[in-house]
Chain A
Amino acid sequence: MTEYFLHIAIISGLYIILALSLNLIIGYCGQVSLGHAAFYGLGAYTSALITIHWQVSFFLALPVAAVVAALFGLGLGIPTLRLKDDYLAIVTLGFGVIVDLILLNLDVTGGPDGLARIPPPRLGGIDFRDKVWYLLLVALVVAFTLGLISRLVHSRHGRALKAIRDHEITARVMGINASAYKISIFTLAAGLAGLAGSLYAHYITFINPESFGLHTSILVLTMVVLGGMGSILGSVVGAGVLTILPELFRRFADYQDLAYGAMLIALLIWRPQGLLGSGKISRKFSLAKNRAKKER
Chain B
Amino acid sequence: MFLEIDQLSKSFGGLQALDRVSFEVQMGAIQALIGPNGAGKTTCFNLISGVLPPSAGSIRLMGQEISGLPPHQIARLGLARTFQNIQLFGGMTVLENVLVGQHIHLHGGLVATLCNLPDIRRQEQRAKTFVRELLDFVGLADKETWSADSLAYGEQRRLEIARALALQPRLLLLDEPAAGMNPRETEDLMALIAAIQERDITVLLIEHDMNLVMNISKRIVVFDQGRVIAQGPPRAIRQNPQVIEAYLGKEEDEDDV
Contact = CB atoms under 8 A, between A and B. Distances in A.
Whether chains A and B associate is yes
A170 B83 CA distance: 9
A280 B90 contact: yes
B114 A170 contact: no
Interface in A107-143: none
A38 to B, nearest CB: 23
A94 B51 CA distance: 31
A159 B51 contact: no
B89 A163 contact: yes
Contacts of A178: 72
A166 B91 contact: yes
Interface string A159-176: 110110111011111111
Contacts of B81: 173
A148 B111 CA distance: 10
A53 interface: no
B101 A162 contact: no
The size bracket of the interface on B is 35 or more
A105 interface: no
Nearest to B87: A170
Contact of A166 (B49, B70, B71, B90): B90
B32 interface: no
A159 to B, nearest CB: 5
B106 A148 contact: no
Given A162-B92, A175-B75, A280-B90, 9 more contacts: A151-B114, A162-B96, A166-B91, A173-B50, A173-B75, A175-B103, A176-B72, A177-B72, A280-B91
Interface of A: 148, 151-152, 155-157, 159-160, 162-163, 165-167, 169-178, 184, 188, 230, 278, 280-281
20 contacts: A151-B116, A156-B103, A159-B100, A166-B90, A166-B91, A166-B92, A167-B89, A169-B51, A170-B83, A170-B87, A174-B167, A175-B103, A175-B167, A176-B72, A178-B72, A188-B110, A280-B90, A280-B91, A280-B147, A281-B91
